[in-house]
Amino acid sequence: MKALEKFGVHTGEDLQHQQIASVEAFPFEAHTQRAEVFLAQISATVLANVQEIFASTKGKWNPGGFMVFPLGLLEDGSSLRFHVWPQGMERKTDQGPNPHNHALHLSSRIVIGQYSDVILDVKPITDESESKTEALKRSDVYGLYSTHRTPGGKDILRTDGTLVQAIPRLPRELREGQTHHIEVGEYHLSTIPKELLAATLVLDTPSFRESSDLLLKSLEPEILRVRRNLEETQIRTAMDQVAEHLKQGNA
């Protein structure tokens, strides 16, 4: 997008899940400091061009129940994306939203509405006094899956049968203008209710490993997950909601 080029954002494939970088090259504290400044500087330009983003950017549904619009890449391989949780649209999918981590550092500035999630501590289940099937019935027990991305928006989810316990540690609520950060390997779960509209501007580093992790209520050895394309009616609904929100904010 032409308007973003002055910030060093250039059109290109969203490579953050394909390009493997050294974590030492992207210290987490340095990333968060840089992201805070960069996202604050660029957010007004993104919102001023949001209609073009909806109209011309090829977005997909994330399995976590939100729309993803890739905006481009920075010179170091970092990725800029626009995420939207439209009001009234179902957040749940076949494999999400579920607790997960990322193979990269992630920073997200809330540009519309309110964002909420919970940070989780995850530990392996070592008690073998009950079967895995019975253990999985507990609300805080999940199968541990690795996520392997393939072309065409398809993910292969694999598990070796490991079960883990996910324990909520830190619920978070952030409003417009605030930024949150997630370090590589840290588990979280978004909790934005479908009654609310929310949008974030996200800056990712390149990946530091080939796969991320996902927690599912399953023991299937392998699951194919397809990232759905956005329907025109869904894009139009989200576009109208965002336009109305921005109009009210400028009134």
- Cβ atoms of 38 and 108 within 8 Å: the answer is no
Specify the pLDDT at position 16.
45
What are the DSSP calls for 120-139, one per residue? EEEEE----SS-HHHHTTST
- Mean of pLDDT values over 44-61: 94
Cα-based torsion angle of the residue sequence 234, 236, 238, 240 in order, rounded to the nearest 10 degrees? -150
More confident residue, 31 or 97: 31
- Which pLDDT band holds residue 227 (cuts at 50, 70, 90)? confident
Instruction: Read off the DSSP letter of residue 7.
Output: G
| Res. 163 pLDDT band, cuts 50 70 90 | very high
Region of poorest pLDDT, from 88-92, 102-106, 212-216, 231-235: 88-92
> Helix or strand or coil: residue 247?
helix
**Residues 54-84 pLDDT 10s:** 998 889 999 888 999 999 999 998 999 999 9
Q: Looking at the 3D structure of the chain, how many domains does it have?
A: 1
Largest alpha-carbon pair distance within the chain? 62
pLDDT grade for 94, boundaries at 50, 70 and 90: low
Residue pLDDT, tens place only, 127-146: 888 999 999 999 999 999 99
Expressed as residue numbers, the domain containing 246 is 2-250
pLDDT at position 18 is 63
Q: Residue 128: its pLDDT value, please? A: 84
The CATH number for 237's domain is 2.60.120.10
pLDDT, residue 173, reads 98
pTM for the model stands at 0.94
Overall average pLDDT of the 1-7 stretch: 94
**What integer best gives the mean pLDDT of the chain?**
92
Q: Tell me, what's the pLDDT at 95?
A: 60
Confidence at residue 131, expressed as pLDDT on a 0 to 100 scale: 94
Q: Hey, how many other C-beta atoms are within 10 angstroms of the C-beta on 247?
A: 9
Could you read off the pLDDT of 102-133 as tens digits, one per residue? Answer: 999 999 999 999 999 999 999 999 888 899 99
Q: What is the mean predicted confidence (pLDDT) over 176-191?
A: 97
